[in-house]
Structure 1
Amino acid sequence: MGTSDEEIDRLLGKLTPRARALLLDGATTWRTRAEPALGLRELVMSDGPAGVRGEAWDERITSVLLPSASALAATWDEDLVESLGGLLAAEARRKGVDVLLAPTLNLHRSPLGGRHFECFSEDPELTGRVGAALVRGVQAHGVAATAKHYVANDSETDRLTVDVRVDERALREVYLAPFEAAVDAGVRLVMAGYNAVDGTTMTANALLSDPLKGEWGFDGVVVSDWGAVRSTEDTARSGLDLAMPGPDSPWGEALARAVADGTVPEDTVDDKVRRLLRLAAWLGALGEGEPTASGAARAGTEAPPAPRPAVAPRERALARRAVAAGSVLLANRGVLPLDPGHLRTVAVIGAHAARTRTQGGGSAGVFPPHEVSVLDGVRAALRGRARVVHVPGPRPDGPAPPLGHDACTDPRSGLPGVLLRMLDADGRELYAERRRGGRLLEPRLVPGAHTVEISARLRPRTAGRWTLGVAGFGRMSLALDGRPLLAGEFTPPTDDPAVVHVNPPAQYAGADLAVGQDALLVARRELAPGTGRATVVSAAPPAPDAAASPAEAARAAAGADAAIVVVGTTEHGECEGYDRTTLSLGATQNALVRAVAAANPRTVAVVNSGGPVELPWRDAVGAVLLAWFPGQEGGDGLADVLFGRAEPGGRLPTTWPAALADAPVTRTLPADGRLPYDEGLHVGHRGWLRHARVPAYWFGHGLGYTTWAHEELTVPPRAGAGEDVTVRVRVRNTGARSGREVVQVYLARPGSAVERPVRWFAGYAAVRARPGESVTATVRVPARALRHWCVRERAWRTETGRWRVLAGRSAGEVPLVADLEVVGPGSG
């Protein structure tokens, strides 16, 4: 890790200009190139941020799955996030991964953003603080973190080509700010996004050079998003350093030729190689002699996967603690916490209760070693104490789920799962293996493979009209007991890798199945260039009667001491590659909650989503608990909260509208390829305040199991421009239980000479207190919270004069106000 710049230059001198250029694109999908002359081994990269998948997308190669990024931001606990970053680093090292492609620092600009679960917050300050904590936690253990996606990659619609139009001040103060925080935290890589900003694609954008490398002094590697480099010379002359994946990127030999003919300067390439070598040295991947193989290289990605060691109890405990710390109690009418000692029967209702969605869809997905559903967690918590009754309720609106190992058997071995076969052009078997389920994203390819076949013997537990499907691109077919159901050729509508390689749309057919009569389902897909490797086989039983299902749930709730109804989004509702078109959970789920709440006033609604959804029944239930996508330990962590073993520690990192129409910023659909950020600085709670609208729940909102009084705000009488400000807030625990309060500080600038939000978030501190105890929260307001970007001078400036400091428990509840005098000089 201590290789000097002089040593880097000495190593650089060993390479020809051509050899240097060839180092700057990938060797494979997930690896950089090795260079034996330098003792440089391949660097292995892997998607994050909720887990470390490694190089292979194989359900037998499992990964610890943490709560979604939106849930981590909801903890408002940087120490905890740093610890979770350490857990991710341990997973990376176990898998031989050098570079983790996390954290995602884009913002929740519109509630319709399809990838909110992978992003932290609507607010640049909170995003920057939480993101920096994750960076520190990952990199403290010798794994490099990657800040992505630089910059303004805040929605998914047309994300490969969209041209975001954002004014310079908003870009600086809002969208670039979290990346600056990551650079300050020492992040080793920054990923350039697919999108363009103000007319130039990010992989060729001047923003890579300044402010990133120039003003901020970033000395790490700028890597492209996968496939984001679509040209050679303009991207090579920019601040981009590494084009991924390889080996067929537009760099490689094309870049070597451009260097040879002088269209790309040698010193530009040399700077990129220095950065790559500096990263390799930090990772311990650079030295004299033959390079040593990484752990992943030694394991080999094409060998049968080795079983994962059991997850250590401390890792499970940390992941479980994170669930409770990030869960947000949105509303509570005296129902929570439930006292197990006073419960005889608890009704747990909803499809999401038994099949809790633990993570969002897309490239960040991993295969956890296990998943604890809400139903599992409640049963474990009440075992031997109370009876738990489960009613599945209606299936959520959305496509049929992939075949699970519990619903079918491999027709060859009879064991749970499916049979995967690779066939040649004449239909002869080249390779076969049993897999756990019908979602196969990267099946092992063998020479001569022409067709992938997935077969499964279905074991129907419900009679009636089933929905059967196959997802993928190219020529596909689906047959049941030898009878064709589907056949055709399906062309990708986009080259978005998240769609082609991860989440292709399915084609469906119906078939009548009977209980006790097994049926053989066979799906085939021809392997052709440009169609990806993903093949998914799905099956869904007949949907329960829309009217009878809520009635059954209501009967169960009426006969219970308490009811827990779990509702949420589906993979196609919150997923990389797609934005949402609605915030509704659908008529069937909303009817279910209303029926249960009407039958039992002690109803807790648990919301299983990664971002905002509409909760039209929120005033009818006894409590609303936001679970997010809680990771593998979700059910146990939520049971800790439901039964009072842990306090719901979360506060909203994003404002939740009562209805989509209320939200001040909703646009994600470009017009003529452009997406204007017309709201400027007024994102998130700032936009709500500007338009004087009241949401369902404000940024920063969240209840615990006690109550608090905010008693006094102490602000220094004056502060110098460019200095941090220390604010003290005295709060008292007015409830009967010890608890944690997140004290939030906001700023306002009455009479400002420049446009400002009504108020904006500036800092926070968490305190704990016993019943009746008074404590003081010390909040550092960083100097950057008071500065603004002067477009005319292209510099940061801080206004002198009277400022207003506000403190409270959310952006909409700030009962304490004091003035602050800021004195010269006028630059921050």
Structure 2
Amino acid sequence: MAETAENAGMKAGNVADQAREAVVEAALGKLGLDAKARLLSGKDMWSLPALPEIGLTSLVMSDGPIGVRGVHWTADDPSIALPSPTALAATWDPALAHRAGALLAQEARRKRVHVLLAPTVNLHRSPLGGRHFEAYSEDPYLTGRIGSGYVRGVQSGGVGTTVKHFVANDAETDRFTVSNVVSERALRELYLAPFEAIVENAHPWGIMTAYNSVNGTTMTEHRYLVNEILRGEWGFDGFNVSDWTAARSTTGDIEGGLDVAMPGPQTVYGAPLAAAVRAGEVEEAKVDEAVRNVLRLAARVGILDGAEPVVTEPPAAIDGEALAREIARRAFVLVRNERQALPLKPGTVALIGAAARDARVLGGGSATVFPTRIVSPLDGLTAALPEGSLTYAVGADPTEELAVADKGFELRAVCRDANGEVIGSGSAPNGQIQWMGDDLPEGVTHDTLHTVELTGTFTPRDSGPHTFGIKGLGAFTLTVDGTTYFDDAQRTDKDDPFEAFFGAPVPRAQAELTAGEPVEVSLTHVVTLPEGIPMKVVGFSLAHQEPQRDADELIAEAVEAARAADTAVVVVATTDRVESEGYDRKDLRLPGRQDELVHAVAAANPNTVVVVNSGSPVELPWRDEVAAVLLTWFPGQEGGAALADVLTGAHEPGGRLPSTWGSFADAPVTQVVPADGELPYTEGVFIGYRAWEKEGKTPSYPFGHGLGYTDWTYESLEISGMTATIRVHNSGERAGREVVQVYLAPVEADAERPARWLAGFAGVEAGPGESVEAVVDLPRRAFEIWDENVASWAFVKGSYEVQAGRSIIDRRVAAAINV
């Protein structure tokens, strides 16, 4: 029998794996204890030490997941900024996720990065999770499918991934200390499930363990979840790296299966680990196993002499801007479109909203990257619409705090020693200094650095009182236009070592300025090492806020603009204080007076389209008053161009909801604040749509919902074995793409199981009047539950209804299956 290409490829892969393993073992055998222990400890913020004696180059890691920041946290080192992970999940397209990953591998190689610290596959347990924009979905199956595509894409470019944060890191409150109390069944069926699927289907080269504890054991020391499940049951053979500063115990971490403690140079590994071995507290074999995992990763990415990398020829070059634009428009979810308000009809358009001019394209925290350009909605629509047909009004500004100095500022950083002598300088294109480890301007060392002065000019675009402030901790001096407004220390009472990065800017000065007239500005910081961070970091920012006009006047102007136009397009948004790493949300309301703005505009113009610029759900109290609602997530650097594509009808909005959108009052799971250090997951397996159905609550828009610019008729569903074939017909007037969703529902109700759950999906395309078939395989796991009595998966026999449709509640065709 002729050998298939797939089998031949597998054999070749096995041979290559064996060859790499031989090189790894030979290299390991040449290392002494001190070198091995040193390899497991970060050399600095982003890298591991090189070991020239075995031909090992320093391994470099970088944050993701929407771009590759590299080792420099600055706009001087720009990156492609893709849409948020929630947006990628909203495409319901693993192949598109693969392309996104391949682009990021290209970016990583450009920046000489070997491992991307992504993707985040924690679940949207509660809508209050402040970092949910960085994760995919409330559903483990959808998360696993999108995450698998992403990982395969990144690694197809020869760059490693670290799937994170393992596990149950589903909220930000007290994330360093909380113990999440989760049943074994909920862990297996929900929170571990995406990790398991990605390990099985994408073979990731890395996993990152989380800050939090699970059932009393911190994740970096969790030998049961890491050694027994991740490595034992699932066969994971990659490296396990701590979240930054999460490793706390030398013996506990190495026994718990942690390979690498980051960042360095001061960690619980390195010299402390070697000492623990010599004292008989740790077996050297444990160290060897961790080193073996690191060397295997190094061999895979091509930085270990003698080992052929997994990818010898990178994929063809990808146009990053074009792909960012495509992902964005295919992620936009049209949840309402009355009277076919979209696509826009010929006529005048009033564009309204602060976020329409100053776009928010990504979420806050370690996911931040700095693109070379950002296309705002105002930019995109100005380019796409006929000249003279578009007007703009601010309406209501959601930003209630200062932002990092950016537009109008021309700044540089001047470094001085204790004698006031200049020892170096560097650019500061956005008023933000984040120097980590040895990433300092040329000629500057931490030993000689005493002060950093951000200095330059600011040219305001509006006249009036401008507010300036400081983000960071320590001693500062702030001067604007020759006047010193602040010369003191800025402190915090929060117990978070990253407060200097994620904390709110503090207003410290207000100066009356004239539009177009530049003034000199200066912010000087006396450098001190932040407490609680085991590496040398210099981090602070100059912040700024433009003159604040009367809110009632701004809304009145917007109403008049809307009344005079054929269509009003209102862009509403969240802010860094609402969605960011480091803290959770308190409610689901849009900040500021944006809801009031939409109510007023809708009353003035019945043809009002609202664009919602948020990474995760917000309440939409005006949704029944407007003609259309389009959810654009954090749309990445090309978001404004993609928005113009969709609003004008050049492309249809392709997204479907990856999570349920509803009111805070009706949301079934809202507890994210621990009590006495613990957060019980009392809801068990009922989160997201599972919980909404159990509680009998009706959300604003259900999981899976999304409209396009054509109509679809579901004609039939047939079952053959464990495969469902669904025939759908494009009954509209233009070509389109449909996401056919398949849900599995037990015929006999069981209070311990959801009413139904996502079992598969497929995207299909068809022209007007055409029919097409979606073929969806039903995985065995869809019929299984975790039986805590016998600690294993149990296949639940019986009768099920296979239901296919457009969302969890819009199910069009069904067929019975007995298993």
Which residue of 1 is the match for residue 394 of structure 2? 392
Which residue of 2 is the match for residue 825 of structure 1? none
Which residue of 2 is the match for residue 297 of structure 1? none
C-alpha separation in 2, matches of 1:7 and 1:48: 30
Return the letter of the residue paired with 1:392. Answer: V
Give the Å deviation of 1:780: 1.3
Residues 1:367 and 2:374 are matched in the alignment:
no
Which residue of 2 is the match for residue 110 of structure 1? 126
TM-score by length of 1: 0.91
Greater Cα shift, 355-364 or 521-530: 521-530
In structure 2, which of residues 39, 52, 63 is the aligned counterpart of residue 36 of structure 1? 52
Assess if the C-alpha contact under 8 Å between 1:498 and 1:576 holds in 2. Answer: no
- Measured at CA, do residues 152 and 802 of structure 1 come closer, stay the same or move farther in structure 2, by a change above 3 Å? same
Which residue of 1 is the match for residue 683 of structure 2? 679
C-alpha separation in 2, matches of 1:210 and 1:753: 31
Aligned ranges 1:765-804 → 2 under 5 Å: 765-804=762-801
Deviations 1:683-706 (A, max 9, x none): 100000010000000010000001
Deviations 1:324-351 (A, max 9, x none): 11000010013443356x22x2211111
Assess if the C-alpha contact under 8 Å between 1:486 and 1:508 holds in 2. Answer: no
Q: Secondary structure at the match of 1:441?
A: strand
Return the letter of the residue paired with 1:223. Answer: V
Assess if the C-alpha contact under 8 Å between 2:469 and 2:544 holds in 1. Answer: yes
Aligned ranges 1:140-539 → 2 under 5 Å: 140-184=156-200, 185-206=202-223, 207-287=225-305, 314-339=319-344, 342-343=346-347, 345-384=348-387, 386-404=388-406, 406-408=407-409, 417-442=410-435, 444=440, 446-447=444-445, 448-494=448-494, 496=496, 498-500=498-500, 502-515=501-514, 518-530=518-530, 532-539=537-544
Assess if the C-alpha contact under 8 Å between 2:34 and 2:270 holds in 1. Answer: no
Give the Å deviation of 1:182: 1.4
Which residue of 2 is the match for residue 631 of structure 1? 636
Return the letter of the residue paired with 1:95. Answer: K
C-alpha separation in 2, matches of 1:429 and 1:514: 30
Return the letter of the residue paired with 2:153. Answer: G
Deviations 1:757-794 (A, max 9, x none): 11111111111222232322211111111111111111
C-alpha separation in 2, matches of 1:51 and 1:107: 21
Which residue of 1 is the match for residue 74 of structure 2? 58
Return the letter of the residue paired with 2:701. Answer: Y
Segments of 5+ residues of structure 1 without an aligned counterpart are 293-310, 409-416, 720-724, 823-828
Which residue of 2 is the match for residue 308 of structure 1? none
C-alpha separation in 2, matches of 1:339 and 1:149: 42
Deviations 1:219-271 (A, max 9, x none): 11011111110121111111111111111111110000111122111111111
C-alpha separation in 1, matches of 2:341 and 2:160: 41
Which residue of 1 is the match for residue 9 of structure 2? none
Q: Secondary structure at the match of 1:649?
A: coil
Return the letter of the residue paired with 2:105. Answer: A
C-alpha separation in 2, matches of 1:123 and 1:89: 26
Which residue of 1 is the match for residue 6 of structure 2? none
In structure 2, which of residues 577, 584, 599 is the aligned counterpart of residue 594 of structure 1? 599
Q: Secondary structure at the match of 2:244?
A: coil
C-alpha separation in 2, matches of 1:346 and 1:312: 38
Deviations 1:248-299 (A, max 9, x none): 111110000111122111111111111111111111111169x99xxxxxxx
Give the Å deviation of 1:514: 3.4
Assess if the C-alpha contact under 8 Å between 2:710 and 2:733 holds in 1. Answer: yes
Assess if the C-alpha contact under 8 Å between 2:106 and 2:317 holds in 1. Answer: no
RMSD: 2.0
In structure 1, which of residues 799, 804, 821 is the aligned counterpart of residue 818 of structure 2? 821
C-alpha separation in 1, matches of 2:656 and 2:807: 8
C-alpha separation in 1, matches of 2:766 and 2:189: 35
- Measured at CA, do residues 528 and 704 of structure 1 come closer, stay the same or move farther in structure 2, by a change above 3 Å? same
Residues 1:762 and 2:766 are matched in the alignment:
no
C-alpha separation in 2, matches of 1:793 and 1:518: 72
Segments of 5+ residues of structure 2 without an aligned counterpart are 1-15, 310-315, 532-536
Deviations 1:56-103 (A, max 9, x none): 112111001100100000000111111111100000011101001111
In structure 2, which of residues 552, 573, 579 is the aligned counterpart of residue 574 of structure 1? 579
Return the letter of the residue paired with 2:203. Answer: G
Give the Å deviation of 1:519: 3.7
Give the Å deviation of 1:756: 0.5
Assess if the C-alpha contact under 8 Å between 2:408 and 2:458 holds in 1. Answer: yes
Give the Å deviation of 1:208: 0.7
Give the Å deviation of 1:518: 4.4
Q: Secondary structure at the match of 2:802?
A: strand
Which residue of 2 is the match for residue 688 of structure 1? 692
Residues 1:83 and 2:81 are matched in the alignment:
no
TM-score by length of 2: 0.92
- Measured at CA, do residues 263 and 754 of structure 1 come closer, stay the same or move farther in structure 2, by a change above 3 Å? farther
- Measured at CA, do residues 132 and 312 of structure 1 come closer, stay the same or move farther in structure 2, by a change above 3 Å? closer
C-alpha separation in 2, matches of 1:163 and 1:433: 42
C-alpha separation in 2, matches of 1:807 and 1:356: 37
In structure 2, which of residues 30, 33, 47 is the aligned counterpart of residue 14 of structure 1? 30
C-alpha separation in 1, matches of 2:641 and 2:111: 27
Residues 1:73 and 2:70 are matched in the alignment:
no
Assess if the C-alpha contact under 8 Å between 1:393 and 1:544 holds in 2. Answer: no
Give the Å deviation of 1:540: 1.2
- Measured at CA, do residues 287 and 645 of structure 1 come closer, stay the same or move farther in structure 2, by a change above 3 Å? same
Assess if the C-alpha contact under 8 Å between 1:38 and 1:288 holds in 2. Answer: no
C-alpha separation in 1, matches of 2:264 and 2:144: 31
Q: Secondary structure at the match of 2:538?
A: coil
Give the Å deviation of 1:458: 3.0
Deviations 1:182-239 (A, max 9, x none): 1111100000000000000000002111210000000110111111101211111111
Deviations 1:472-511 (A, max 9, x none): 01112323334332333234545645433x3233221342
Greater Cα shift, 794-803 or 131-140: 794-803
Give the Å deviation of 1:433: 3.7
Assess if the C-alpha contact under 8 Å between 1:397 and 1:588 holds in 2. Answer: no
Residues 1:650 and 2:668 are matched in the alignment:
no
Residues 1:612 and 2:617 are matched in the alignment:
yes
Give the Å deviation of 1:598: 1.8
Q: Secondary structure at the match of 1:22?
A: helix
Return the letter of the residue paired with 1:402. Answer: V
Q: Secondary structure at the match of 2:760?
A: strand
Q: Secondary structure at the match of 1:533?
A: strand
Q: Secondary structure at the match of 1:712?
A: strand
Q: How many residues align?
A: 782
Which residue of 1 is the match for residue 743 of structure 2? 746
C-alpha separation in 1, matches of 2:575 and 2:696: 32
C-alpha separation in 2, matches of 1:681 and 1:753: 13
C-alpha separation in 2, matches of 1:250 and 1:538: 36
What is the aligned-residue identity percentage?
48
Return the letter of the residue paired with 1:403. Answer: A
Q: Secondary structure at the match of 1:54?
A: coil
Assess if the C-alpha contact under 8 Å between 2:412 and 2:455 holds in 1. Answer: yes
